[in-house]
Structure 1
Amino acid sequence: MNLKQIKIAIYATYLTNKYGFKLKKVKNSQEIFDLRLEYAKQLLGKLNISVEVINKEKIPQDGQYLVVSNHRSIIDPLIIELALENSKINGFWVAKKELYNSFFFGTFTKNAGTVLLDRDASNMASFFKDTKEVVKQGHSLYIFPEGTRNKENTPLSSFKEGSRIVALKNRLPILPVYIKSNANEVLNDAINNRTKGLKVQIEIGHIIEYKDKTSLEENYRKQFIKES
């Protein structure tokens, strides 16, 4: 790592833990969402990355949804936060156990409005109970249906079936969003080259009804992925 990379790594660690401890003191959901957005703006601002929203008019101004997105970089949640900032859609992120145990993200993840997904658990009853409680409180849910970051040279990897089950159990219409830019490449450019004026494009799709029996992945691909 060169000096610039070390400085960015130190700053990101500091900022993430700073907001993690700030969030730990907050009990009100709206304050959590506000702090989360503030964190996203500060970190992406430091990285000189802006977010361009395509089809912004498709963003519902209110209501509860299962927001689903492709996943290629660690900054994807921040991109989605900024994309939806002018709507009243506020949600809890579905977060893997690995993030809860992470030195870098742990404190932040545990306190930033998340639902723990432990894929090693013997059953998922606790997870679905937690999602129902979030929805009962009037919030949306955000999830990456691929389950983990897509590190292959493809626009999308296979979806896990669990995302559609979350929508069904909570009767949540699905709001699909697609991060068109390879955000991981943009992030690497920001860290390695400190390039100015970087941009990530994110596209808003049409609402998918939770009762739709077509697979979520198929619906998503039809909206965003142009097969060659």
Structure 2
Amino acid sequence: MNLKQISIAIYATYLTNKYGFKLKKAKSSEEKKALRIEYSQVLLSKLNISVEVLNKEKLPKDGNYLLISNHRSIIDPLIVELALKESLIHGFWVSKKELFNSFFFGTFTRNADAILLDREASNMSSFFKETKEVVKKGYSIFVFPEGTRNKTSNPISTFKEGAKLMALKNRIDILPVFIKTNANQVLKEAIEKRTKNLKIEIEIGDIIDYKDKEPLEEIYKKQFIK
């Protein structure tokens, strides 16, 4: 890493933990939503990255959904947050245990409205119980159905079954979004070359009925992979 890359890493760590403590003091989910958006704007601005939302008219103004997105980079949650900036939708991110315990993300994740997913747990009853509590309070659930970052050359990798199950168990429709730009490549360019005026496109899809029996991955591909 060169000096510029080190300085960006230090700044990102500082900013993430700063907002983690701000989120800890937040008194409502509305305040947390505002802080999550602010954090996303500040960090992406530092990286000279802007977010353009395609099909913005399809984005619901409010309601609770299972939001699903493809996943290629560590900044994908920030991109999704900015896509929802003009909506009242506020979601709890499904976050793996490693993020809750991470030095970099831990304070932020634990305080930003998140649902812990422990893949090593003997059963998932506590996880699904928490998702029901979140939905009952009127909030959405945000998840990357691929389960982990897609490092292949394909725009999406295989979906895990858990995403569709969450929608069915909670009887909530699915809001699909697609990060059209390879955000990982853009992030590398931002860090390594400090390129100005970088842009990432995210597309809003059509609402999917939770009762739809077609595999979720296939519906998603039909909407976004032309």
TM over 0.5: yes
- Partner of 1:181: helix, strand, or coil? coil
Matched AA of 2:99: L
User: Which residue identity is paired with 1:175?
Assistant: L
- 1:209 and 2:209 correspond: yes
Structure 2 Cα separation of the partners of residues 138 and 80 of structure 1: 19
Give, as a single letter, the amino acid of the residue that structure 2 aligns with 1:153: S
Query: Alpha-carbon deviations, 1:159-195, whole Å to 9, x = none?
Result: 0000000001111100000000000000011111111
Write the distance in 2 (CA, Å) between the matches of 1:26 and 1:89: 18
The offset of 1:67, in angstroms, is 0.5
CA deviations on 1:36-74 (whole Å, 9 max, x unpaired) are 111001000111100011111100111111000000000
CA contact (8 A) 2:70 2:179 kept: yes
Match of 2:9 in 1: 9
Q: Using the TM superposition, give the Cα deviation of residue 22 of structure 1 relative to its aligned residue in structure 2, in angstroms.
A: 1.2
Alignment deviations for residues 194-219 of structure 1 (CA, whole Å, 9 cap, x no partner) = 11100000011110000001110010
The one-letter amino acid of 1:57's match is: E
> What is the alpha-carbon root mean square deviation over aligned residues?
0.7
State the match for 1:53 in structure 2: 53
In structure 2, the partner of 1:96 is 96
3-state DSSP of counterpart to 2:149 = coil
The answer to whether 1:24 aligns with 2:24 is yes
Counterpart-to-counterpart distance in 1, 2:35 and 2:189 = 26
Match of 1:184 in 2: 184
Runs (4 or more) in structure 1 with deviation over 2 Å come to: none
Cα distance in 2 for residues equivalent to 1:92 and 1:169:
16
Q: How big is the shift at 1:26?
A: 2.0
Aligned to 2:222: 222
TM-score, with structure 2 as normaliser: 0.99
Q: Does 1:73 align with 2:73?
A: yes
Q: Which residue of the partner structure matches residue 82 of structure 2?
A: 82
**Secondary structure class of the residue paired with 1:176:** strand
Contact 2:29/2:90 (<8 A) preserved: no
Q: Provide the C-alpha distance between the structure 2 equivalents of 1:10 and 1:162, rounded to a whole number of angstroms.
A: 35
Secondary structure of 2:93's match? Answer: strand
Letter in 1 for 2:147: G
Counterpart Cα distance in 2 of 1:67 and 1:140? 7
Q: Structure 2: which amino acid aligns with 1:215?
A: P
* Mapping of residues 125-204 of structure 1, within 5 Å: 125-204=125-204
Distance 1:93 1:44 in 2: 19
Structure 2 Cα separation of the partners of residues 13 and 201 of structure 1:
25
Structure 1, residues 111-169: CA drift from partner, whole Å, max 9, x if none? 11100011110000000011111111110110000000001111110000000000011
Quick one: distance in 1 between partners of 2:85 and 2:141?
A: 15
Whether the 8 Å contact between 2:54 and 2:202 is mirrored in structure 1 is yes
TM-score, normalized by length of structure 1? 0.98
> Matched residues in 2 for 1:28 and 1:202: separation?
28
Question: Which runs of 5 or more residues in structure 2 are unaligned?
Answer: none
User: Any unmatched runs of 5+ in structure 1?
Assistant: none
User: 1:21 deviation in Å?
Assistant: 1.1
Read off the aligned partner of 2:93 and give its amino acid letter: W
Q: Aligned partners of 2:177, 2:15: CA distance in 1, in Å?
A: 27
Measured after TM superposition, the shift of residue 32 of structure 1 is 1.0
Q: What is the rounded CA distance, in whole Å, between the counterparts of 2:86 and 2:26 in structure 1?
A: 22
Contact map agreement 2:65 2:174 (CA 8 A) in 1? yes
| Structure 1 Cα separation of the partners of residues 74 and 207 of structure 2 | 25
